[in-house]
A and B are shown apart, each in its own frame.
Chain A
Amino acid sequence: MSNEMKIERSRANQQAQTLRVKPRWHMTALHIVYYLIMASFLIFYMLPFWGTVMTSFKTNSEVMMSTPITPPTEWTLEGYASAMEELGVPLLTSLFVTLFGAAGSVFLGSVCAYALSKWKFKCNNVFFIALVAATYLPFQAILIPLLQTISALDLYDNIWGLVLVHTVFGMPMCTVMMRGYYADVPDALIRQAMIDGNGMWAIYRKIVLPNTRIATITVFVFQCTSIWNEMLFALVLGGYDSKPATIALNELAGTMAAEFNVQMAGSLILALPVLVLYIFMGKYLISGQMSGAVTAS
C-alpha cells in the first residue's frame, strides 16, 4: 500500500470517528424501556415453561408442598417414568401418524402444486381457488360426515384412518404453500428440461424437487408439527387402539388424582420432538419461508 493511500485511509478513519455520535440520555432511557418491555414479555412466556420443567422433576409430594416455579429439592425422573407408562404406545402412534400423514400430504401437495404452477390446463385457477377454500374449511363442520365415511371404509379406530384423514386434509395447505415456492422455479428450467428429452414427471423428479429441497423440508416440518399437535381428528376418529399422544396426555390430566409432576413430564415429552425439530431445522425453516416470500431471479 502506498503512503498516499495510508494517509487517505487514516483520514477516512478519523472522519468516521468524529461522525460517530454519542448516544443522548433520552436515547439510552428509551433503550432501557425497550429492554424492560422485552424482558417482561420473556418472563411472561417463559415462566409457565419454567414451572412445567421444574414441576416435572419433582416428586408428587413435593409438588403439593411447593410453588411450581421453585426448583425441586430432590431431582427425580419419577414423573417421566410414570408419564411414559401411559404415553409410550400413543407416542409411537403419533409418530407413525405424523410421519405417514405428513409424507402423504406433502407428496400430494407437491405434485398438485407442480401441476398448478408449471403446467397450463383448463380450469387451472378454479382448482387452485377450490384448494385455497379448502384450507379455510372448519374441520368441526365436517366431522360427522367424515366419521361416517371413515366408519364406512372400516377405518374407525384404525391408525391408517388417521393417516388418511391427515393426508387428505393437510394436502390443500401443502399445495398452497408449495405452489408459491414452485412459482419461483424459472420456467426456462422447465423448458430446457423438456428440450433435454424429459417428460412432465421426470422434470418434477429431476429438476423441480431437487431445486426446492428447502421448501419441501419447510412444508414437511410445518405439517409434522400440525399433525403431532392435532387433537380433534384424534379424539373423534382415534378410538382406543389408535390413540395418539395428545389424547393420552389429555387423559393424564383428566385422572382423579392430580399428579402434576406426571402431567408436566408428559407435556414436555410431547413437546420435545417439535422443539428439537425447530432447534435443528430452524435455519432451514426461516430461509424456506423467506424464499417463498421473495421472488427468485
Chain B
Amino acid sequence: MAAITIRDMCVSYNKGKSYVLDNLNLDIRDGEFCVFLGPSGCGKSTAMHCIAGLLHPVSGEIRFGEEVMTAAKGKGKDKTFVPPQERNIAMVFQEYALYPNMTVRENMSFALKTKKVAKEEIEKRVNYMAQMLSIEQLMDRRPAELSGGQRQRVALGRALVRDPQVFLLDEPLGNLDAKLRDQVRYELKKIQEQLGITTIYVTHDQTEAMTMADHIVLMKDGHIMQEGTPEEMYDHPANEFVAGFLGTPQINIFSCEVKKNTLDAGTFQLGIPEQYQAALTPYAGKMIHLGIRPSDFELAKEGFNAIKGQVESIEPLGDAYLIYVRVGEKIVVFKYAGEHAPKEKELLLVPNMEKLHLFDAETEKRINR
C-alpha cells in the first residue's frame, strides 16, 4: 500500500503546443479510494496512465510513498522512470483486456506467474479471490464464453489477486447495465475497504464518484477544479462547474442583481440572509449567479422569499417527484419528496436559505462559505 504524490505534472501529446494536463498537483492518502471525475477529455485517464507508467509526462514528479516513480524535467526526458511492470500496480481497463487465449484461472494467475510466485500460493490467492467475487464456477472458461458482468468480475479478480500497492480502475463499470453496475459498485467498495489498497478510480459518472469515493478529484480541461470528500464537494462547490457537475438533477442557476438586502432575479426576489451579507457586500449593485439544488426547495402556500412558477411537467421517481416549473423564461427543477404530486398548476417554491450557493458572475467562483 502506498500514498501517491503528484507534483507539477504536465502532459502534452503534441510536443508542448498544448497541455492535456497542466501543472497537476495532488496528494492521495494511503488506503484511500480516490475518484478522478470529469467530462470526456478532461485528462482524468491521462493522469491515471501517467501514474501507471503507461505515459511519460513532459515534466513533474510522481511518487509512491517515498519512492520516485516518474521524475521528468522538460522535453519528455525522464530523470527517473520506473516502467509499469516494476511499479507493483494493478489496473482494470474499461474494455477489461482479458487475455482471450487464457482461461479465467490462467488470466488471474498470469501476473503472479510472471512474478514467479510459488504455485501453491498462486492457487491459494486465485481461489480466495474467485470465492470473494463468486466466479468459482467460471474458472475453466475462456473470456469469450463469459457475459459482460462476469468478464468485469474476472478483470477485477485478476487485479486484486496481485496484492498491489496501488489499484487503478479506468471506467471499469462503463460497459455494464444499470442493475449490474449498482451491484458491482457496492462489491467493489466493500472489497477495497477490506483490503485497504490505495485505489484510483476514473469515471465521468458523478453517482459512482459520490457513492464510492473517500476523495473526489473533479477535473476539467487538464486542471483540477476542486478536490475533497463527496460531502464537501456537494455542499460547498468551489465554482459553478463543480456545482453543476455534482448532483442529479443539475443545480438551478439564476442570474441575480445584488440589491440592498435582496437578491433580485427579475422574476422573484429573495431576502439576503445575515450569513451571506458580508460575502455579498463587494457585489452590491452587481450581478451574481445564485445556485439552488432541486432538493433544496419546499412548497409553500404563500409567503416571503418564494419563487412563483407554472408547472410544466412532473416525473415520478417512485419515492419522489421531479417537478419542472417555469419561472419567467427559465425552467426550474424541483425534487418533491411528498407522497402525492401536487395538483396545482401554479406553485410557490421556497428555497432553503441555509443552502444557497452564490457564484461570481464573471469568474464563476464561489462567493459564500
Contact = CB atoms under 8 A, between A and B. Distances in A.
A197 B91 contact: no
Contacts of B91: 191-192, 195
A279 interface: no
Contacts of B53: 194
Contact of A195 (B84, B95, B100): B84
Contacts of A207: 99, 101
B97 A199 contact: no
A291 interface: no
B114 A197 contact: yes
B99 A194 contact: no
A198 B101 contact: no
B93 A188 contact: yes
B163 to A, nearest CB: 13
A287 to B, nearest CB: 15
B54 A196 contact: no
Contacts of A188: 93, 95, 97
A193 B100 CA distance: 12
Interface string B80-106: 000111100111010101011100000
Given A195-B85, A199-B85, A186 B111 contact: no
Contacts of B233: none
Contacts of A206: 110
Interface string B118-160: 0000000000000000000000000000000000000000000
B114 A192 contact: no
B52 interface: yes
A211 interface: yes
A202 interface: yes
Centre residue among A196, A199, A202 by max chain B CB count within 10 A:
A196
Contacts of A197: 85-86, 111, 114-115
Contacts of A210: 101
B111 A196 contact: yes
Nearest to B111: A196
A189 B101 CA distance: 11
Identify whether the interface residues of A are mostly helix, strand, loop, or mixed. Answer: helix
Contacts of A192: 91, 93, 97, 99
Given A195-B84, A196-B110, A189 B115 contact: no
Interface residues of A, number: 17
Nearest to B90: A195
A81 to B, nearest CB: 47
A200 to B, nearest CB: 10
A196 B53 CA distance: 12
Nearest to B114: A197
B362 to A, nearest CB: 42
A196 to B, nearest CB: 4
A94 B54 CA distance: 47
A195 B99 CA distance: 13
A186 B95 contact: yes
A88 to B, nearest CB: 41
B89 A195 contact: yes
Interface residues of B, number: 21
A202 B114 CA distance: 9
Contact of B85 (A186, A189, A198): A198
Nearest to B91: A195
Given A192-B91, A195-B90, A197-B85, A186 B97 contact: yes
B110 to A, nearest CB: 6
B83 A194 contact: yes
Contact of A194 (B85, B95, B110): B85
A192 to B, nearest CB: 4
A207 B52 CA distance: 20
A197 B164 CA distance: 11
Interface in A201-217: 202, 206-207, 210-211
A105 B58 CA distance: 39
Contacts of B93: 188, 191-192
A170 B140 CA distance: 40
Contacts of A198: 85, 114
B100 A211 contact: yes
Nearest to B164: A195
Contacts of A194: 53-54, 83-85
B89 to A, nearest CB: 6
A196 B37 CA distance: 25
Interface string A208-230: 00110000000000000000000
B147 to A, nearest CB: 16
Given A188-B95, A195-B90, A197-B111, A211 B85 contact: no
A1 to B, nearest CB: 28
Nearest to A202: B114
Given A195-B84, A195-B89, A189 B114 contact: no
Contacts of A186: 95, 97
B258 to A, nearest CB: 52
B97 A189 contact: yes
B114 A195 contact: no
Contacts of B86: 197
Nearest to B116: A197
A210 B102 CA distance: 9
Nearest to A212: B101
A196 B100 CA distance: 15
A207 B89 CA distance: 19
Contacts of A211: 99-101
**4 closest Cβ contacts across the A-B interface?**
A196-B111, A188-B97, A192-B97, A197-B114
Given A199-B83, A207-B99, A207-B101, 7 more contacts: A189-B99, A194-B84, A195-B91, A197-B85, A198-B114, A199-B85, A202-B114
26 contacts: A186-B95, A188-B93, A188-B95, A191-B52, A191-B54, A191-B84, A192-B91, A192-B97, A192-B99, A193-B99, A194-B53, A194-B83, A195-B52, A195-B54, A195-B85, A195-B89, A195-B91, A196-B85, A197-B111, A197-B114, A198-B85, A198-B114, A202-B114, A207-B99, A211-B99, A211-B100
